[in-house]
Structure 1
């Protein structure tokens, strides 16, 4: 056989072999099932935000003077009473300052006694016309200066006396020490936070709200709160406080939610979730499992009712909820959206729509 005929014979031989291996029929690709759902109205969408139970009144306690901490009498989590000592500064400096002020008061009193006696003598001499009025005025001014000096020194003594009391930090109310930021031997400045006191009384939930949806929240808005220790039980509440500025690090807005019932068994530091009804502001919502994204752009797979083929549909979403996500743009109420297995689909793929019970779904095309 000529070597020039080999290239023409080889493809024919391979074709015959392939035909002999099969029956000549084209393999039909199987149609995979896809669970589909329709978007729910916004009235059924609820947004959930994690939070922490806090006291309504939280005070940052600090010494009014600086010094070295000599005693720390409580720790974090301690329950304290009003006016109970919490920590003490080394009293030596304030004691010396108080003694110096007391000595200055004694000196000013002695000086005033002297100038008073001098004034009285000069008054007698003036009455006898033995001195001039100008000489008496000089002594009178010295007496008035002595009086003013004594008032000044007494005021400084009162300040020093108060500062001696400031060396002991006391609780401002009944409550619980939530944080401690001092140790014995530490030198603190005046006004530096030493303890944080969570006062007894009302409890609230502190949450953070995303900046892209802050316009949907307002003070007084009704919400519901679920405590981690009591799952499934929701307590009514309302937004009491809303921060006017975003946190510079998290870019979220702090909000405080108060309970409508003051007897809710909420303890400090407990985890909680706050549920907010969207009140129709978001037109539709879909399950979280229906949403996927590419390059930061979210989209869903919408099934064509006529051809049963999927189409990638970009959407604009709101804040994520507990198990659903609101859709601001991109979907219609009559659309059918793939709710599971979205990561394995491709554009134009034919699917067999089923519901959550694996029953076939009959999708009617819109006329």
Structure 2
């Protein structure tokens, strides 16, 4: 009996030891595998290209400054026009009627002015001879002054109505080519409504949209290389002539105008272009961190630095201050230095001081 008790006790002890050994094996876990990147200075030296459309540097929308129906329309797509050439005319019925009424009023005012002037001369002679009173003389002077003011007003009215008639004509403001036509003869148009577009410049320019992350790298006078999809075998040089100081609401970018240094006959308005900024024009070297390495919570933005602790790799939560987002990541203002290693994946699953392995 005693022998059986000893054997049973021995089996229980062995079972307990075996169970503890398994628990210890289960408790031993390998550190988390973490993907990382070493932070380096970036000089953004790669070429940057933007798409745009070629157009003349002077684009004029043609429109009437009056309302009416188009009675003459000498405008065709692609037509070459000379400065001062009559392109379109309105019926101008109301303007001509108003002009005639202004002429009638001017003639009446002129006649009244002549009459009051003669009356003033007669009254002045009579007053000097003592045959007219001072009040009669003053009344004659006032009548002449009023008639003169009315006449001057009528002349201004005639001039205004003449301008109104001129507003019913469109003359080519510059030599150029009609690039677009929006109206036709007998169409009713409103004042300021564009009826055609005139390309009148001497040079070709391309308008491109630059995001805010890159706009500070572009200044007036920068040199570019321009290629056209319609002319694949030739590249052209260009110069930045305008940089918009404010963001365009329509495109959410900053508009930049690049003018071709040598406008050739091969290039037509409307051709698709690619503008490439040369490597020499780059941002200064700055510390850049991948966007996915930056986390944010109620305490602010942070990264997980990878540091060695007694020959063991751990992650350390560290606050960071970032700048603008570039194509390579966020510019670093403070928080990390060149050569630091940071986790770039699974930030939500990491804990401050957690042991890790590098992937």
TM interval, shorter chain, is 0.5 to 0.7
**1:66 Cα deviation from its structure 2 partner:** 2.3
Query: Corresponding residue for 1:118?
Result: 119
TM-score for the superposition, normalised by structure 1: 0.63
User: How far apart in 2 are the matches of 1:200 and 1:245?
Assistant: 25
5+ unaligned residues in a row in structure 2: which ranges? 1-39, 287-291, 293-323, 333-337, 340-359
Alpha-carbon distance in structure 2 between the residues aligned to 1:154 and 1:239: 50
* Compared CA separation, residues 224 and 282, structure 1 to 2 (3 A): same
2:218 maps to 217
- Quick one: structure 1 residues 329 and 149, their matched pair in 2 at CA, closer, same or farther if it must change by over 3 Å? closer
Report the alpha carbon displacement of residue 48 of structure 1 after superposing the two structures with TM.
1.4
The whole-number CA distance in structure 2 between the counterparts of 1:254 and 1:50 is 12
Residue matched to 1:108: 109
Matched residues in 2 for 1:281 and 1:232: separation? 30
Alpha-carbon RMSD across the aligned residues, in angstroms, is 3.2
CA contact (8 A) 2:213 2:325 kept: no
Q: What's the secondary structure of 1:179's corresponding residue?
A: strand
After superposition, where does 1:1-367 map in structure 2 within 5 Å? 45-263=46-264, 265-278=266-279, 279-281=281-283, 318-319=326-327
* Number of residue pairs the alignment of both structures matches: 261
Q: 1:318 to 1:264 in 2, by over 3 A?
A: farther
How far residue 327 of structure 1 moved from its aligned partner, in angstroms, is 6.4
Q: CA deviation at 1:151?
A: 1.2
| Distance in 2 separating the partners of 1:193 and 1:230 | 32
Following TM superposition, by how much is the alpha carbon of 1:167 offset from its aligned partner in structure 2, in angstroms?
1.2
In 2, Cα distance between the equivalents of 1:62 and 1:90?
15
For residues 181 and 42 of structure 1, what CA distance do their matches in structure 2 show? 48
The CA deviation string for residues 59-108 of structure 1, in whole angstroms up to 9 with x for no partner, is 22221222222332213322211111222111222221111111111111
Q: Using the alignment, how far apart are the partners of 1:76 and 1:192 within structure 2?
A: 18
Unaligned ranges ≥5, structure 1: 1-38, 285-292, 294-315, 320-325, 334-367
Q: Secondary structure at the match of 1:206?
A: strand
Secondary structure of residue in 1 paired with 2:213: helix
CA distance in 2, matches of 1:106, 1:252: 59
